[in-house]
Structure 1
Amino acid sequence: MCSYQNHLQSIDDLITTYEAIRAGFVALALEKNRRATPFVAEARALKEAASQAESPIELLKIKGIEMGLLTAAGLSDKSLAHLMPEDKVEAVNGLIKNFLEPAGANFPEELVFRFLLTRGDTLGGSMRNVGGVLAQRKLTRAILSTLTIAGTRYHWQHSKSKKWIAMTNNDSEIELSLRGISWESEIGNRTLIYNLTVPLVRSNVDLCLFNLAPAELVANKSSTIEPSVVAPYVIALGELKGGIDPAGADEHWKTAQAALNRIREAFSRVGHSPLTFFVGSAMSTTGYAYARRMAGEIWNQLENGTLSNAANLNRENQVASISRWLCSL
């Protein structure tokens, strides 16, 4: 029996239900609120400080709100790196003259509103790939659980520091800042890395599983190494799509399919054929004309061996099953 048959018996198992879509949108809303919390706190602090001024021009005399004024003037964190000091002064003066002074006694509220408008753009930008972030967290937690119940010790890599940290008895929420997982099985060392540029493919791959320990994984240190050095050590490469909007489901699959085809073609040129897999949220959605066709394409690729495995991220049993599969390779 093929590995995917442990959790997929028919095309219908790939279809995302309306209930899962609703739950996905709620999860996105909760994450958006979580990410917005610091901005709301900043706005409250700005309003408290601004309330000490009797007029908008006096805001310039208050220490410690310079960044708040620049943000309210419409300048993003990225734009500030490209502006001269005089440009920043001009922006704040424009804010005061054109918007805060006309607001009269309500200028502190006007300041906060404009601060939040700019912060809202920042939040919107960070939310564009939040589906992928949530998907990575969910799959990561399933993999960690699989290793834990098997009694397999693991190390995990911090996404910012890139340091590898040994497993502890309390690993709650490490998926929020995890980039990689490494463990040792009866077969050998295994390292799973998220979002790695694979030199042979010359593009980013969502999930990469190597039969190497982290210290031996040169691909983890540089994306410009000789491709032939990496190829023999690649076990599996996969695409993870967490977008839940059913209108974008078909596009997610097309993007993933194109990426997986590039992977197969690149490795075949050097005589290697790593396993490929796909995990998605809105893989195929009931009520849409392309639903059966999309599910059919995935199913056909599983049956003819083009795809080694696939799972619907909204089906807990499928996520658990594909996690066991990855940990057993």
Structure 2
Amino acid sequence: MARPVWAGVLSFGLVSLPVGLHTATDSHTIHFHQLQRGTSDRIRNRRVNERTGEEVDAKDIVKGYDTGDEYVVVEPEELDDIAPGRSETLEITGFVGLDEIEPIYFDRTYYLAPRGKGYAKVYSLLEQALGRAEKTGIATFVMRQHEYLVAVKAEDGLLTLHTLHWADEIRDPKQELDTLPGKASASAKELKMAEQLIEALSMSWDPATFHDTFQDKVAALIEAKKAGDSVEKAEPAPKPSPAVDLMEALRASVEGARSPKDTREKAATGGSASPRTSGRTATKPAAKKRARTQGKGHDPHTMNKAELYKKAAAAGIEGRSSMTRDELIQALDGQRQAA
């Protein structure tokens, strides 16, 4: 069993529950060592006194706050002495609706587990009550000399803890960003087309559909370099759509993202557009027919990524928006073989 990263007492009202805090996520990032170019010599980071150049042992390091004229020295144990609740209390001060906390406030997620089978009833009581009330508990606690604002939620039969950003940590976008559109507005036709594109690309949320393709590429690069092979470079990023071509780009995107379901619905109604695709794009059956005919006999291996994406959209391949060119080819080949 994994050891908790923090242990203490969760309290709400006069009810107390000893809990352990467990990390809920892992990172699959591929890590590299630093080497001196042309050698296999590792580069190490050392704690060095900048005045003497001598290495300093960790036990001889204290914290110093720069006041401008001097440093105020603080020992690690002094921070523990002033921690609220001596760093062992997770006190719920109130409950709010699940949808009241804006996504920007959420930071990291942890699992909460009771410390001992004797506390299973209290743990289950809080989990069930939170779920039925559709509320989340707001609390604060101290871990590793930092105080955290957190939300305690009921999720799939267990309690989860989400660290939140403090209000003064959220930056004001109006002060930070100088390229916001301001009063710029799209035309009614552009807005309608954009809504059709969103509808055409709508899907059910399935996180398993997506995976970290960049880490796959990094692993492939490592294997290729071990074997002395070369690796295909990624395609350049798409160029921004010029304002004059915005409508055409939206129209082409809708056509490329349209699913087989739309085609079947249109055929079933004798060629009339379904409610979600009504508009200018539905009045050009000839253009649609030409587009389908043009890509029908093409070998996926000879297509560019945009053509592959349109073909994958027409075939109803899920997760296509996050696929690379090679993955799109593989998916299309697999579907063709399965048929």
TM score, norm. by length of structure 1: 0.23
Greater strand share, 1 or 2?
2
What TM-score, normalized to structure 2? Answer: 0.22
Q: Which structure shows the higher helix fraction? A: 1
Bigger relative contact order, structure 1 or 2 (CA pairs below 8 A, ≥6 apart): 1
